Amino acid sequence: MVGLERHIVPLMAEREFGVASRSAALSFLVSFGAVKALTNLFAGRLGDLAGRKRVLVLGWLVGAPVPLLLMWAPAWSWVVFANVLLGVNQGLCWSMTVVMKIDLVGPERRGFAMGLNEFAGYLAVALATFAAGLVADGYGLRPEPFYLGLGFVAPGLALSLLFARDTRAHVALEARQRAAPAGAPGLRRVLLHETLRDPALSSCNQAGLVNNLNDGAAWGLFPLLFAGAGLSFTEIGVLAALYPGTWGVCQLVTGALSDRLGRKWLIASGMGVQALALWWIAVTRAFQSWAVAAVLLGLGTAMVYPTLLAAVGDVAHPTWRATAIGVYRLWRDSGYALGALLAGALADLVSTAFAIGAIGVATLLSGVLVAIRMPETHRVGTVAAPVDPWYVRNDV
């Protein structure tokens, strides 16, 4: 369902609802990002307590009305509310698919599992984005493109109910193999430790936030930039699909590559590639150049996205891993809201191209911070390190 929105909703703001301000047009992303970030935080803890499958099914139930709201919205506020529900849906469902795959594989294949998960997700986003562009070119911005969303909800819910299996038994097995002090830390203690104390986890958090900050800018500003250059809905759909499509396909390679080469330098260099792509998009004005830059942006994101999740899984003990992933995803998806606010403000004050270039600078600085501060979390050929029992000390 995210794929349906990636270029349709920003254009709806301008052409269907007459929203001229870039900041106001990106308000749907603020609601989506803020709600998804908070949902991620509690989804991880809820998955530890109630089970992964139940949380996954709940996510699909919450997301079911989203296509209908977008089709029938009489005012922009309805679109913003639909994205609140979409944020809950994505926070619950994606958190559980990530956690369940990490539960199922050992530490030596964690990067591959994350690459496979994100490959499936972002390839679907790309295909939905492209399909929505074709439908919009033939029939208009709504309601027809959102009929596709109704076709996504039913099988998603059915597959979750009928075929998904809870993975907590795998967690119990791995926990017995990795000794840790009795008990597991609570949500507040994991949040404080991961945000402020641990250099690996806090480095992952800031890199994830900046990654989604630039993805939020891409989601909200790219369609408006391309439309301003006179591109058709189909051409905008192609460009909007190239980025997540490359991102999705390349993660099959980059996730597994991080299992062989380690996490740190793949993350740092990927942020640099993203920065270069954003600057390219900001300065060029031709469809072909934008297409090359979109592929480059997808490659850089593929280097970073599954690797960050795998790094968090490396550090966290199985008994509090879902909570740690929830905290990471809280900070990462806060980037959508911050990206929308920052990009919208800069676009209104200066220009859309300037906003994209400025976010490229922030992306490069984030990669430099990873290179300086983050330790390597996965050393090839070694077994999982004993867990630092920080949560039985009085330092958090």
Determine whether 187 is exposed, middle or buried from the number of CB atoms within 10 Å of its CB (0-12, 13-18, 19+). middle
The overall average pLDDT reported for the chain is 89
pLDDT score at 204: 97
Confidence of residue 274 (pLDDT cuts 50, 70, 90): very high
Question: Count of CB atoms within 10 A of residue 130's CB?
Answer: 22
pLDDT surpasses 70 at 179: no
pLDDT attached to residue 395: 44
Percent of the chain with pLDDT over 90: 66
Q: Of the given ranges (67-81, 328-342, 377-391), which has the lowest mean pLDDT?
A: 377-391
pLDDT above 70: percentage of residues in the chain: 92
| pLDDT score for 168 | 74
pLDDT > 70? residue 180: no
Residues whose CB falls within 8 Å of the CB of residue 221, separated by 6 or more in sequence, listed in order: 10, 22, 26, 343, 347, 352, 355, 356
Residue 393 has pLDDT above 60, yes or no: no
How many CA atoms are closer than 13 Å to the CA of 296, on its beta-carbon side?
18
Q: Does residue 384 register a pLDDT over 70? A: no
Residues 6 or more apart whose CB falls under 8 angstroms from that of 156 comprise 60, 63, 93
Given a cut of 70, is residue 109 above it in pLDDT? yes
Task: Render pLDDT for 208-252 as a digit per residue (tens, 0 to 9).
Answer: 999 999 999 999 999 999 999 999 999 999 999 999 999 999 998
pLDDT in tens, 277-335: 999 999 999 999 999 999 999 999 999 999 999 999 898 888 788 888 889 989 999 99
Per the model's pLDDT, the better-predicted residue between 21 and 176 turns out to be 21
Say which CATH superfamily domain 2-164+187-379 falls into. Answer: MFS general substrate transporter like domains (1.20.1250.20)
Which pLDDT band holds residue 357 (cuts at 50, 70, 90)? very high
Residue 182 in this model has a pLDDT that exceeds 80: no
Q: Which residue from 181, 171, 173, 210 is spatially nearest to 322, judged by alpha carbons?
A: 171
